[in-house]
Amino acid sequence: MTEKNHFHSSGERAWCPGCGDFGILSSVENALMNLGKRPHEVLIVSGIGQAAKLPHYINTNGFDGLHGRALPAAFGAKAANHRLQVLVTSGDGDIYGEGGNHFIHAIRRNIDITLIVHNNQIYGLTKGQASPTSDLGMVTKTQPNGVSTIPFNSLAIAITLDAVFVARSFSREMEFTTQLIEEGVRTPGFSLIEILQPCVSFNTVNTYKWYSERVYKLDSPYDPADKLQAYKKSGEWGEKIPIGVLYKKPRRTFLDNQFKPKDLPLFQRKTVMKEIISLTNELFE
Ligand SMILES: Cc1ncc(C[n+]2csc(CCOP(=O)(O)OP(=O)(O)O)c2C)c(N)n1
């Protein structure tokens, strides 16, 4: 008998029928099931947007940060309880636009968080303005002459900053996406999994058909440990778009430098008020 999916929540979803977010939600549930996680062991943090509604639709702990602020909230939670499995799921606008600064520095710090970016190349919740990943020339209501700024190459940035795990998938490829999420969660440190996600209402260019005609899976002899090759692959976009693990290079995580595995999480330690008061008094003397 197959085990009941204890991450599945039966509430209503406010996503458009056919939205790529549905495939991502199922892939996250399946990955957590395959990893043998229990709902109370997992926290999913997001910011603001359609993608950022994912924590509402899954049976785990959840938190919505301000727009662009999912990563610092997730980091705070991970620091307070380093035994919690922390994932961030949010949109390309939220993470790379409003949250771009946090994206860069979270990678540098190498906090053990799995970041899943729903990349629909548009601002969906606010009904179709260009996002940092919109292609050059894309016409939108607010860019009637076409987007004139070059797209944010998140994968190239993550590789340059030595993110331990950098992968791309396509929401329709649910099994493949599930495997990549599992591998990202299993890899200690900051993992980025960017998922191409058609927005059926506001992006009429980058559709299911558009992505399906272009994506191909990276296979051997591709070696994700080869940084230069990974960097070159991250620039491949247009006629052909690679999906799979572009780069993987484990290194010590931020919290490895703060805690030993057996240390009690911060939130379970006794707070000695007397010590805190004397410390603050010292600082203000
Ligand atoms: C500080 C701030 N700026 C702007 C907004 C308006 N806003 C809400 S969601 C959003 C875009 C979300 O786009 P994305 O992250 O790509 O997610 P999607 O809705 O496409 O899934 C914007 C600009 C806001 N809520 N707060």
Structural domain contains residue 278: yes
Mean pLDDT of 156-177: 98
pLDDT in tens, 44-74: 999 999 999 999 999 999 999 999 999 999 9
Structural domain contains residue 60: yes
Q: Is the CB of 82 under 6 A from ligand 1?
A: no
Q: Is the CB of 67 under 6 A from ligand 1?
A: yes
Structural domain contains residue 260: yes
Domain count, the chain: 1
Write the residue with the smallest CA distance to atom 26 of ligand 1.
Answer: 67
* Mean of all residue pLDDT scores within the chain: 96
Q: What is the pLDDT of residue 1?
A: 54
Structural domain contains residue 11: no
Structural domain contains residue 49: yes
Q: Is the CB of 123 under 6 A from ligand 1?
A: yes
Q: Is the CB of 165 under 6 A from ligand 1?
A: no
Write the residue with the smallest CA distance to atom 11 of ligand 1.
Answer: 123
pLDDT in tens, 196-254: 999 999 999 999 999 999 999 999 899 999 999 999 999 999 999 999 999 999 999 99
Structural domain contains residue 13: no
CA 64 to centroid of ligand 1, rounded, Å: 13
Q: What is the pLDDT of residue 260?
A: 84
Q: Give the domain extent around 42.
A: 21-283
Q: Is the CB of 197 under 6 A from ligand 1?
A: no
Structural domain contains residue 145: yes
Write the residue with the smallest CA distance to atom 7 of ligand 1.
Answer: 126
Structural domain contains residue 250: yes
With a cut of 70, say whether residue 190 has pLDDT above it.
yes
Candidates 125, 131, 143, 203: which one to mutate for ligand 1, based on the most atoms within 8 Å of Cβ?
125
The separation between CA 285 and the C-alpha centre of its own chain, rounded to angstroms, equals 43
With a cut of 90, say whether residue 181 has pLDDT above it.
yes
pLDDT in tens, 90-121: 999 999 999 999 999 999 999 999 999 999 99
With a cut of 90, say whether residue 259 has pLDDT above it.
no
Q: What is the pLDDT of residue 262?
A: 86
Q: Is the CB of 124 under 6 A from ligand 1?
A: yes
Q: What is the pLDDT of residue 283?
A: 86
0.75 cut: is pTM over it?
yes
113: domain CATH number is 3.40.50.970
